[in-house]
A and B are shown apart, each in its own frame.
Chain A
Amino acid sequence: MARTENDIAIVGFAQGDMVRRSQKTETEMMLPVVAEAIASVGLTKSDIGFTVSGSCDYLSGQAFSFVSNVDAYGAWPPINESHVEMDGAWALYEAFVRLMQGDIDTALAAGVGKNSNSDASTLYTIEMDPYYLTPLGADPWSLAALQARALLDSGKATERDFAEVVSRNRANAKSNPKAQVSGDFDIDELLAADYIRNPLRRHDLPPTTDGCAAIILARGKKAYDLCERPAWITGIDHRIEAHLPTMRADITRSVSTALAAAGAGVKNGPIDVAEIYAPFSFQELIIREALELDASTEINPSGGALATNPVMVSGLIRMGEAANQIIKNGKRRTLAHATSGPCLQQNLVAVLEGDE
């Protein structure tokens, strides 16, 4: 299909080192990644029409943490800029909508997460409803375990299925130079491990990662100027569900993913590769069911969030990996998924396409 000036594509992607603990500030982590993404498409910072990032004050441990991150853009003369307290995948969404205004033709979307600064098991309790859930002190592992238990009870999956997800993702991660955790894991050995939160074992959990990524978007003809084979965003949508898991009709199903997939037009054709952001192993099964992918779709060749999980960046990395499948690997149609909140509360789905 011929592309028009209304079409927007991913044309460049860069990600920094993904490590258990970085000694750098968020700004220091961002600067080389932003510079690499811009240079990768032959541009300089002054060429970028709009810049937006996703990060979280509570992860970095201070209010207004994103303010100094503006230094990573070299924002002088002043730039068109915004920030979301969301995963960088949603920063990309804002950039996508901003490009649709039609007055600019390039944008940069970044995500940065310094997850090592905090203890996830205590920090994420304050992401919950402050009146009903935070006082319970329910950490994300416990909430995920309740969701996993519901999935087992539904009969749709077994603990062996969870381990299969882990084994496959971490084997895939062997070919990902950024992977923090990778290797060949025997499913029976995985199943012999102790529970962290029954029925979840340590390997069902993502690693803690500090990291940063950045994506360059371009609109219309500009995309071809910057990239031989742009990854056109032919559909992108995101939806949220009720916060309290008990208020959702069935937490073994991801209604918001299914709605976002419909909005993004996933079923308009076969998906060659899907990059799914499932922080916990079993959540990949729930997302796959919601996306209704068939057996021909390759899942998470990067190793997914079980290989690296810089929260606030992981969704954006899925976008970059899915785009690279088109830009570098010649795939025709790929999918990127991002999630946020307890028990997959909020989900984003994007469909990317290369030209025939």
Chain B
Amino acid sequence: MSHQPVAVVGIGQTHHKRLRADVSITGLVREAAQRALEDANMDWSDIDAVVLGKAPDLFEGVMKPEMFLADALGAVNKPMFRVHTAGSVGGSTGIVGSHLVGSGRHKRVLSIAFEKQSEGNAQFALGGGKGASIGAGGAFAPFIRAYIRRSGAPEDIGWQVAVKDRLNGAKNPYAHLKLADITIDKVKESPMMWDPLHFLESCPSSDGACAVIFTDEDGGKAASKPPAWVLATAMKSEPSTFAGRDPVSPAAAHDCSDEIYKAIGVTNPAEQIDCAELYVPFSWYEPMWLEAHDIAAPGDGWKMTANGDTALGGSFPINMSGGVLSSNPIGASGLLRFAEAALQVRGQAGEHQVGGAKLALAQAYGANAQFFAMWAVGSSLNPLG
């Protein structure tokens, strides 16, 4: 049995904000789903199954919210599935949805991910709900310091990423942060949060949702707008902590991209892949993921950032949407990466479009930098020719 081709034919997202007081959780997910349906030129009745992803239920204080959202998402009498794989969950939600089509079980599947962080206290929940949380930044700062020491990267790399992603975000109508006037000095002078991470090197806390509609080869070919083809998917996990693990450049991250590259015949990712959306909630994760996904050689990731390669007009643009640094509804953040990669190869990314993008990579990671979800999407089933 082989995996059948899967096409992304609909993408929708909310306007992400710190507080979407104008909508309920229900209204938030419908806003994204409705936009995806319009994009796909479909109606609710066209959808065969719904996959919902979000990060811990403690964020909103609603246990298994997919149960009450079934009605609003048009899932009544249909299969409704709920994924939760920590920060990588948005990516996993896309992957599980794509597999439902790729396996031939369904013809049209809606994957939707959300977080309405204003409903609760994310720092509390990130600490396992036990209080006294050091926050995600506190958890990752030691890995970042180790990366800096290992690579000898200059201190301004993180500031550059923070500026670049926010300038990209300013071009994205849905982004939470639109900081068109951000500068290196502003980042550097913003309060120190978790050394070396300044306030402006950290992701915001957002309300938002993202929806993606998958269909089969016939559906993709018949779509009114160009589809994005899901070329490969991978999910890899490793333990949170043990002496044999390298949390700075995790084996699961390497394995995840290795599997993708092998599946689509990529031998030189920096040359063959046109752009990538990587989960960068704190600035320094851009060079770290460039290395952990073997796009740059060990110790060289920061040089791509310093050279401007990762900027929108660079040779390997990263986080054209503005990334997690510009919008972070946690459970949806992974699917937003996956969706942006698809928008790029569909040529639908508007002001943040990479010209002629044919092959794009998207990644999401979670927990203690131990869960990885990734996909590669193409403008055709064989974008490398």
Question: What is the interface of chain A, defined by CB distance below 8 A to chain B?
Answer: 5-6, 56-58, 61-68, 70-71, 75-86, 90, 93-94, 97-98, 100-103, 123-124, 126-131, 133-134, 237-244, 247, 255-256, 259, 340-342, 345-346
Q: Please state if B129 and A243 are interface contacts (CB–CB under 8 Å).
A: no
Please tell me which stretch of B61-69, B264-272, B297-305, B308-316 contacts chain A, meaning at least 4 of its Cβ atoms lie within 8 angstroms of it.
Answer: B61-69
Q: How far is the CB of A27 from chain B (nearest CB, A)?
A: 10
Q: Please state if A84 and B82 are interface contacts (CB–CB under 8 Å).
A: yes
Please tell me which stretch of B160-168, B171-179, B209-217, B234-242 contacts chain A, meaning at least 4 of its Cβ atoms lie within 8 angstroms of it.
Answer: B234-242
What are 25 A-to-B residue pairs whose CB atoms are below 8 Å? A57-B58, A63-B125, A63-B127, A63-B129, A64-B56, A66-B84, A70-B370, A75-B237, A78-B250, A78-B255, A80-B234, A83-B85, A84-B82, A85-B57, A85-B66, A100-B104, A101-B3, A102-B3, A127-B62, A127-B67, A131-B24, A243-B67, A243-B68, A243-B71, A259-B77
Q: Please state if B78 and A240 are interface contacts (CB–CB under 8 Å).
A: yes
Which of A56, A75, A124, A244 makes the CB contact (< 8 A) with B239? Answer: A75
* Cα–Cα, bound, A97→B84 (Å): 17
The answer to whether B130 has its CB under 8 Å from any CB of chain A is yes
Q: Please state if A79 and B236 are interface contacts (CB–CB under 8 Å).
A: yes
Give the one of A70, A129, A259 with max B CB within 10 A. Answer: A129
The answer to whether B288 has its CB under 8 Å from any CB of chain A is no
Q: Please state if B238 and A345 are interface contacts (CB–CB under 8 Å).
A: no
B contact residues around A124 at 8 Å (CB): 63
Known: A66-B84, A90-B81. A82 touches B58 (CB 8 A): no
Q: Please state if B56 and A81 are interface contacts (CB–CB under 8 Å).
A: no
Q: Please state if B70 and A240 are interface contacts (CB–CB under 8 Å).
A: yes
Q: Please state if A79 and B61 are interface contacts (CB–CB under 8 Å).
A: no
B contact residues around A346 at 8 Å (CB): 67, 70, 80
Which of B86, B105, B129, B252 makes the CB contact (< 8 A) with A100? Answer: B105
Interface string of B38-80 (1 = CB under 8 A from A): 0000000000000000001111111111111111000111111
Closest to A255 in B: B77
Known A-B contacts: A63-B58, A79-B238, A123-B63. Give 17 more (CB < 8 A).
A57-B57, A71-B240, A78-B252, A85-B57, A85-B64, A85-B84, A86-B82, A90-B82, A97-B99, A100-B1, A101-B99, A126-B61, A130-B60, A240-B77, A240-B78, A240-B79, A259-B77
Q: Please state if B103 and A101 are interface contacts (CB–CB under 8 Å).
A: yes
Interface size on B, residues (CB 8 A): 66
* Cα–Cα, bound, A76→B58 (Å): 29
A contact residues around B236 at 8 Å (CB): 78-81
Q: Please state if A94 and B128 are interface contacts (CB–CB under 8 Å).
A: no
Q: Please state if A242 and B71 are interface contacts (CB–CB under 8 Å).
A: yes
A contact residues around B129 at 8 Å (CB): 57, 61-63
Q: Please state if B251 and A77 are interface contacts (CB–CB under 8 Å).
A: yes
The answer to whether B367 has its CB under 8 Å from any CB of chain A is yes
B contact residues around A70 at 8 Å (CB): 237-240, 370
A contact residues around B370 at 8 Å (CB): 67, 70
Closest to B69 in A: A243
Closest to B89 in A: A83
Q: Please state if B70 and A242 are interface contacts (CB–CB under 8 Å).
A: yes
A contact residues around B237 at 8 Å (CB): 70, 75, 78-81
Q: Please state if B76 and A76 are interface contacts (CB–CB under 8 Å).
A: no
B contact residues around A134 at 8 Å (CB): 62
Q: Please state if B235 and A81 are interface contacts (CB–CB under 8 Å).
A: yes
A contact residues around B75 at 8 Å (CB): 240
Closest to B99 in A: A97
The answer to whether B94 has its CB under 8 Å from any CB of chain A is no
Q: Please state if A127 and B64 are interface contacts (CB–CB under 8 Å).
A: yes
Tell me the B74-133 residues at the A interface (CB within 8 Å): 75-86, 92, 96, 99-100, 102-105, 125-130
* Cα–Cα, bound, A223→B99 (Å): 22
A contact residues around B255 at 8 Å (CB): 77-78
Which of B1, B63, B81, B251 makes the CB contact (< 8 A) with A126? Answer: B63
Q: How far is the CB of B341 from chain A (nearest CB, A)?
A: 20
* Cα–Cα, bound, A346→B75 (Å): 11
Known: A62-B130, A77-B251, A78-B238. A84 touches B67 (CB 8 A): no
